Amino acid sequence: MRRGALGVLIAALFIAAISGCRKEPEPHGPVYGSRPVSEAGPAYSFAVHPLHNPSKLLEAYHPLIDYVNGHLRDARLTLEASRDYANFEEKYRARQPDFLLPNPLQTLDAMEAGYHVIAMAGEPHDFKGIFVVRKDSSFEQPADLKGKVVSYPSPTALAACIMPQSFLHEHGINVNADIENRYVGSQESSIMNVFMGLTAAGATWPPPWRAFQREHAQEAAELTVIWETESLINNSVMVRDDVPTQVAEQVRALLLSIEESPNGASILAGMETARFLPASDKDYEVVREYLSRFESEVRAVELR
């Protein structure tokens, strides 16, 4: 072998050896759950269902967790987001989170896993489905959606899917045959699908729509809410049955009184939540009745 060729071969082997020893870069992205560096007592996880994408949800709910931790005695909360509805549901069915903020349908499911309601997050009248369309669309009545595509965050999203599909059913649309249902993973994605012209209408509910209008004003200016459903009951706050009673009671009391604190209004506004209200398991029986009627008239709801 010629000297030049030998040199090239040695150099190549040297570079390969160095590359093989080099560490792969750590993946970047939102942290779904974290524990404080310095803990005062045991940490309890607080998992919120995918109202937003994980990074946005962590940003919106960290002030709440910081507020609770500033007043909680001998314990701390850690915030946990999930990549989608299915991931969140897998977690509470495995009894992983200590506290939950699920939608009303997931509330019923979480009861089966040993969680119980300690509060309601938001006013009941704000829990309703809305349909967003482009302003340049020609839709006037729900029947105009026949043959079109409608986007939703998830088939188990109560306000942003089940209630809108019930609304369409009541207005003469067979949601299993007359339209194409597209489940796109998040509230923002449901809205953005409409903006991009991928779906004719997108179902969501008021808090994500208000946030979208604030954070994506240019895109929101080309959209409008065309129909809305009746209200039901808002999201719950739940605790697992083996969390110490004194911890659960402290968290409940702090949530119910947050609007009276100096920064309470800004914390609640960041979450698009008017306030926390007293609630218990029995308050969500209305959801069980609603779901039973929906399944008998529209479609089955697969939670598992």
Residue bearing the bigger pLDDT, 39 or 303: 303
Confidence of residue 8 (pLDDT cuts 50, 70, 90): very low
Mean pLDDT across the stretch 114-138?
97
Domains and CATH numbers, the chain: 43-124+233-297 (3.40.190.10), 128-228 (3.40.190.10)
Residue bearing the bigger pLDDT, 297 or 21: 297
Mean pLDDT across the stretch 21-28?
37
**For residue 7, is pLDDT > 90?**
no
**For residue 35, is pLDDT > 60?**
no
Confidence of residue 37 (pLDDT cuts 50, 70, 90): very low
Please provide the average confidence, as pLDDT, over all residues in the chain: 88
Mean pLDDT across the stretch 163-181?
98
Confidence of residue 40 (pLDDT cuts 50, 70, 90): low
pLDDT in tens, 88-122: 999 999 999 999 999 999 999 999 999 999 999 99
pTM recorded for the entire structure: 0.80
pLDDT in tens, 281-298: 999 999 999 999 999 999
pLDDT at 18: 36
Q: Are the C-beta atoms of residues 122 and 275 closer than 8 Å to each other?
A: yes
